[in-house]
Amino acid sequence: MSERITKNMARNIYLGGAAFAILVFAGLTVDTVQRVPELSHSEKITESVAEGKNLWEVNNCVGCHTIMGEGAYYAPELANVFDRRGMQDEAAFKVYLQGWMAAQPMQEPGRRKMPQFNLSEEQVNNLADFLIWTSRIDDHEWPPNIEG
Amino acid sequence: MKYNSQMVAKNYFIFALILLAGEVLFGLILGTQYIAGDFLFPEIPFNVARMVHTNLLIVLILFGFMGATYYLVPEESERELWSPWLANVTFWVFAVAGVVTILGYLFVPYATLAEITYNNLLPTMGREFLEQPTIIKIGIVIVALAFVLNVGMTVLTGRKTVISIVLLTGLIGLAVFFLFAFYVPENLVLDKFFWWYVVHLWVEGVWELIMGAILAFVLIKVTGVDREHIDKWLYLIIAMTLISGIVGTGHHYFYIGTPTYWLWIGSIASAVEPLPFFLMILYAYNMAAQRRIEHDNKMALTWAKGTAVMAFLGAGVLGFLHTLAPINFFTHGTQLTAAHGHLAFFGAYIMILFTIISYAMPIMRGRPNGNGLKAQAVELKSFWMMVIGMLGVTSALVIAGTMQVFIQRMAGADSLSFMATQAEIVPVYTVRLAFGVLTLLGLLTYFYSFFVKEEAA
């Protein structure tokens, strides 16, 4: 194969192919950015949801958990934790999460440990609002079942 | 060595190897925590060890790329480096910043680290692989600019070769795409979408240009094959890389809240992604078969062939295994991703560094024909220990991921919870840890090969 292709042809395939790929990807990016607000219900991003996302980040939650399948694989998926533990009831989920966060780290020998993050009651509610909002993103019905 | 300024590469290589030892060590800590959940808790929680593990990996690869660049660019450009002084200064700035960051992870709670580095002014922390405090990220940009300036001035005022231009393109791409690390929108979906602009377009885009250029340089040196021929192959490989890799970013846009068309666009484009890696195998083996010289440094060529094969297995085969959307629906976010990541990074980016280090270090240490036979024999042993070690680690992770899919996701009403599933996988994680230990022993053997004494000829 390589005998029939000259160096100039190879270079043109590289430059032309790369330019084409960049154009396609740029076009799709523009379209995606326009459609994400609807798919993610961005109008429902309240101040509390935004603060929850910030707390998610500055406590490095993604260092153990996944969220929509991305992150570390050491602790459960949390994009659907509202469905799994909150039974679609926002108030019940907040009560659950307050209790869960307060109970860490659990004193069970050998079990994977979640640190104590010393969050205030309001901060845990922010985190809950962020996880509730995340659970409603249209992500093509992922994960396959409730276990994440 | 043709130019004195190539010598600045030495510090970069040595420091990259030291960081690699730390990276593997923290990998073993993580592997142990998968078996004994309270290991080193609360001193080093899993998330902290993981940050150290992944950040060391990224930083050591950057050090390795910089060392490789400083070594090969003067020789390609047929002139001294534009500013060896700047290269030495950026080495120390980057090294100190890297060490401070790692110590910060280890000794300061992450939320406190965010607070004392004023993350609230420009929040960029807490995203996978991009956990560095904002001020460190700004430092990385400054170091990258100084580096690109130094290399760019050398390349553009000297002899321009395909290798040096491709390398420079890759390095500029690396710097440009890192800027997306500063964009953290409130919307998690957009956040994830552009996060991949850094992560995917680095690893499956511009880094492959850098890898291809380094591989081409070493192949020319150790096989003596005509440059025209090497250049043509390099163009074909990077053409396939960018054609498949850029739109192939779409295989990360299946289940994170992005439009439906990514399901098939991402599947099709990324199905082609193994091709450039397959070409790399043909390339390395063809050049070796057509070699016109018998270089005494056999190990450099061994690593060159090895990196092509292992990158194909890790990035190509293990990637393809779960890149189609209907399969990825079940494998997304399991240990299969970890398996792919580990073998791809080792095969493509760690082994290309071993390739250039094995070629260049002996020369910088006054042995233009490579290390002696005894040292090379030790190095060959370390090659196989690390290759088998990493194949073992990733095979175990493939089994672990497959178990997750079947036990946790496909068992209908009998599906186990995440934590119960993990408990089932512990025996496999134990095998993984054992192969991880073999990898570390291989690395230590590699280090030992630097100190093997040869009898005077």
Closest alpha carbon to B233 in B198, B299, B171, B278:
B278
- Chain B hits for A104, CB-CB cut-off 8 Å, are none
State yes or no: pLDDT of B108 exceeds 80: yes
Q: Helices (DSSP H) in chain A: which residue ranges?
A: 7-40, 47-58, 81-85, 90-102, 121-135
Q: Is residue B25 part of a domain?
A: no
For the stretch B23-61, pLDDT in tens is 999 999 999 999 999 999 999 999 999 999 999 999 999
**CA pair distance A64, A61, nearest whole angstrom:** 6
pTM of the model: 0.97
Q: Please indicate whether, in this complex, the C-beta atoms of B256 and A57 are within 8 angstroms of each other.
A: no
Q: Is B224 exposed, middle or buried (0-12, 13-18, 19+ CB in 10 A)?
A: middle
Among B329, B337, B421, select the one facing A144 at the smallest CB separation: B329
Q: Is the pLDDT of residue B457 over 80?
A: no
Task: List chain B residues with CB under 8 Å of A129.
Answer: none
Q: How many Å apart are CA A76 and CA A85, to the nearest integer?
A: 12
Query: ipTM of this model?
Result: 0.97
Q: How confident is the model at residue B456 (pLDDT cuts 50, 70, 90)?
A: low
Split into its structural domains, chain B has a count of 1
Is A148 in the same domain as A103? yes
> With 80 as the cut, is the pLDDT of residue B190 above it?
yes
3-class state of residue B92 by DSSP: helix
DSSP for B387-411 reads HHHHHHHHHHHHHHHHHHIIIIISS
What is the domain-level CATH number for residue B296?
1.20.210.10
Residue A95 and residue A145 share a domain: yes
Residue A51's CATH number: 1.10.760.10
Nearest to B189 among A40, A62, A71 (CB): A40
> Residue B434 has which token pair?
């054992």
Is the distance from CB of B291 to CB of B219 less than 8 angstroms? no
Option in A18, A45, A58 nearest B187 (CB)? A45
Whether B299 is in a domain gets the answer yes
Hey, is the C-beta of B423 within 8 angstroms of any chain A C-beta? no
- B231 inside domain: no
**In the 8-state DSSP scheme, what is residue B292?**
S
**Tally of domains in chain A:** 2
Residues A71 and A131 in one domain: yes
- Summarised one tens digit per residue, pLDDT across range B371-404 is 999 999 999 999 999 999 999 999 999 999 999 9
Q: Chain B partners of A57 at a C-beta cutoff of 8 Å? A: 114, 123, 125-127, 184
- The answer to the question of residue B151 being in a domain is no
Counting residues of chain A whose pLDDT is more than 70, the rounded percentage is 98
pLDDT of residue A1: 53
User: Which range marks the domain in which residue A10 is found?
Assistant: 1-40
What tens digit of pLDDT does each residue of B320-375 get? Answer: 999 999 999 999 999 999 999 999 999 999 999 999 999 999 999 999 999 999 99
Specify the higher pLDDT residue, B456 or B392: B392
